[in-house]
Amino acid sequence: MGNPNLYRELAQTVNRSLGRQAITTTLIEQTVAEAKKVRRLRGTWGLVKFLEGRMDRLFSSHEMEKLKLHPRRRELSYRMLDHLVAEGVMSPTESLMLKRMVP
């Protein structure tokens, strides 16, 4: 299903912030599809490990710090978490738990 507007906005924001083409809408779509499979096969803990590994492969530690300081981090994180609930990747309770972790 996906949300092309959210994916495009997220990709543009991340890429502008980092000053390079780090992610694409296609990559986000593929990651969401893989996350569904991982969640189904390996559960919540497997999903967390999968997403951590994906982020480590895509971004350096310096870039991660840069993204953490972005002014739209909370807004986009919340929207993406809501989308992952709608896609069936995680439960609303898990989403709320993760939202509390976003500063």
**Given phi > 0 = left and psi -120 to 50 = alpha, else beta, which region is 3?**
beta
- Domain that residue 75 falls in: 4-101
Q: In this predicted structure, what is the pLDDT of residue 2?
A: 76
pLDDT digits (tens, 9 = 90+) for 17-45: 999 999 999 999 999 999 999 999 999 88
Q: What average pLDDT does the segment 40-55 reach? A: 91
DSSP 84-97: HHHTTSS-HHHHHH
pTM of the model: 0.86
Query: Is 1 a residue whose pLDDT tops 70?
Result: no
Q: In this predicted structure, what is the pLDDT of residue 30?
A: 95
**The two structure tokens encoding residue 71:** 């002014």
Residue 26 DSSP symbol:
H
Contact 95, 81 (CB under 8 A): yes
Number of domains present in the structure of the chain: 1
